[in-house]
Structure 1
Amino acid sequence: MTAVDVAGQGVEQDSRRLLESSQTLSYDPTTEIDWESPLPDDQYGLNPKWSTLYGTPLWDELTEQQRITLTRHEVGSIMSTGIWFEMILQQMILRDQYVKDPANSEFQFALTEIADECRHSIMFARICQKLELPAYLPPKNVIEFARAFKSLAGGEVAYAGALVAEEVLDVMQRDWMRGENVLDVVRTSSKIHVVEESRHMKFAREETRAHMRGVGTAQRHASAMLVSAVAYVIVSNLVSPQVYKAVGIEPRRGLAAARANEHRKSMLRNACAGLMEFLDEAGLLTRPAVAVYKRVHMI
């Protein structure tokens, strides 16, 4: 039996287990989240320590109500970015599974993941609507980069790229779902996302491992750079500088403070530790890629 055959069997077995898990532990956001309750004025949009300005002089200048307002806009920006990337992810998975055997568990779980991502995007969209937030979208050049990426990326680049976004958000949301001072709609949506995305991350890891088996040195280095570029784009655009306008801070000033924020850099490095370990194991943590990850403080 070849290494490719073994890899295929591994993906199929894992997909079967993930399908069984999705049948027993999945959520419907339309009923799980209390959409009708009013939003308490004293609850944050996300744990304050995950705010881009937490630990900076700018944060100290804000009133408590301004801090609450800022975190609500920040979580809205993160959710808008999540919707944007989930749309990219769905297209990449569809292309990867195009005309594959529908009897395979891998194919069926891939479609299950797409269905999950659709529900998650609607859930995030409804939260932004409930919080009465504007649509925080990435800059035009990033949108065009992503348009090309989702049309061309495949194999280990598609799945490892998806894993980057999922892993970073997962660590954040594990904190948010436990935050007693965080809005209930955010806490509940975080719980739903963490539980269901854990299956997606396992699937992405196994697909990445399978695609990396037998890959040559040139392709491995090229893939590593592409994945690091995706990571750079995602992390750099999680929170739009426009959120600072909500509390009277000029966007450039807020962005400068966020970029210099040592607390945030430390939080990101800790959040990405498991991801970097996996990328290293998969052969996707080359020296040039490490340099890119360091620029966005993922290492």
Structure 2
Amino acid sequence: MTGATRTTEHSAADDDVSRRLLESSATLSYDPMTEIDWEAPLPEDGYGLNPEWSTLYGTPLWDEMTEAQRVTLTRHEVCSIMSTGIWFEMILQQMILRDQYVHNPANAEFQFALTEIADECRHSIMFARTCAKLDVPAYFPRKDVVEAARIFKSVAGGEVAYGGTLVAEEVLDVMQRDWMRGENVLDIVRTSSKIHVVEESRHMKFARQEIREHMEGISPLRRRASAALIALGASVIVRSLVNYGVYRAAGLDTRRAVEAAANNPHRRSMMRTACAGLMEFLDEAGLLTRPAVAIYRRVHMI
């Protein structure tokens, strides 16, 4: 069942959640164009993200790097994550539009869905301007991932669409909660992280409610299939966050850096921490099946 063909009415609980989220959006939203000082100079020693969130932190290679290389690496890493965020937000917007196609526009659910799309447009522009300010090029997932995503965004619906959305939002949310408090992190990253955390908290509540709604009364076969598809999507998103080009930009041996990051126990621990709340919800929703758990373990999300 895809979002474009769903014909059942949403529940009163779903409408109530959406109504409260609409009220929250009206009272607490930001305009990145005015909230961020885009003209402020960037301090040379400002990190792009907390060093602890760097893929190489805690490795022998990190210890060998100069301070300038660490700063450069974290700036390219945060922009890679933002570029991946833009890519996925474009996918998300298309899936939400299909899910809400010919739904009653008077419903709070429909109206918040469009509000979320408006938020995501602002976030994407904010991320794009941040990367331009840091003078970092756009980083994209591998070509095969980009092409596979064209199919995913065209056919995914229901709990699979919102499950994929929730994965991307939850992982980034935990990271950005640290970045917005990082004293050695660039102000532009701290402020953009704060804006994203506040507004994405509503999007995550909406996604969770939509997943609950779509999971009601589904067959065991569909539940298992959806769990596996969400896990596969999650693994692709996590693997696509940091482009290998960030290591070359920092003047590192790319092959050595990729290997160090892939085998970094600190990085794996941080990722499991970031995904703890997500895994708890997926388990509660019946989407943490044995095959799904095996996929999450391969990318250290559990």
TM-score, length-normalised on structure 2? 0.97
Residue 106 of structure 2 aligns to a residue in which SS? Answer: coil
C-alpha displacement of 1:5: 8.2
Indicate whether 1:228 and 2:231 are aligned: yes
1:153-172: CA deviations, max 9, x gaps?
Answer: 00000001100000000000
**Residue 9 of structure 1, CA deviation:** 1.1
The within-5 A match list for 1:196-275 is: 196-275=199-278
**Match runs of 1:59-74 below 5 Å:** 59-74=62-77
Shift of 1:271: 0.7
Root mean square deviation of aligned Cα: 1.1
Stretches of structure 1 that go unaligned for 5 or more consecutive residues are none
Q: Which residue of 2 aligns with 1:175?
A: 178
Structure 1 residue 7, shift from structure 2 partner:
5.8
Please give the per-residue CA displacement for 1:99-149, whole angstroms capped at 9, x wherever unaligned. 110000000000000000000000000000001111110000000111110
Q: Does 1:157 align with 2:160?
A: yes
* 1:219-272 deviation per Cα after TM superposition (whole angstroms, max 9, x unaligned): 000000000011000000100011001122132221111110000000000110
TM-score, normalisation: structure 1: 0.98
Q: Aligned letter for 1:131?
A: L
Paired letter, 1:288: P
Which residue, 47, 50, 53 being the options, matches 1:50? 53
Q: What is the CA deviation profile of residues 60-112 of structure 1, one whole-angstrom value per residue up to 9, with x for unaligned ones?
A: 11011110010000001000000000000000000000111000000000000
CA displacement 1:24-68 (0-9 Å, x = unmatched): 000000000000011000110000000000000110110111100
SS in 2 for 1:173: helix
Partner Cα separation in structure 1 for residue 244 and residue 254 of structure 2:
5
Equivalent residue in structure 2 for 1:120, among 123, 141, 149: 123
Among candidates 126, 129, 132, match of residue 129 of structure 1 = 132
Q: Deviations over 1:8-33 (max 9, x none)?
A: 11110000000000000000000000
Is 2:271 the partner of 1:279? no
- Deviation string, structure 1 residues 191-229 (Cα, Å, up to 9, x no partner): 000000000000000000000000101000000000001
CA distance in 1, matches of 2:9, 2:141: 40
Q: Which residue of 2 aligns with 1:92?
A: 95
Ranges of 4+ aligned residues in structure 1 off by more than 4 Å: 4-7
Residue 109 of structure 2 is aligned with which of 96, 99, 106?
106
- Alignment partner, residue 145 of structure 2: 142
Letter in 2 for 1:11: D
Q: Distance in 2 between matches of 1:252 and 1:89?
A: 32
Q: What code does the residue aligned with 2:299 have?
A: V
SS of alignment partner, residue 116 of structure 1: helix
2:292 match: 289
Q: Which amino acid aligns with 1:20?
A: E
Structure 1 counterpart of 2:194: 191
Amino acid of the structure 1 residue aligned with 2:231: S
Identity of aligned residues (%): 75
CA distance in 2, matches of 1:6, 1:89: 22
Shift of 1:6: 9.3
Q: Which moved more, 1:252-261 or 1:111-120?
A: 252-261
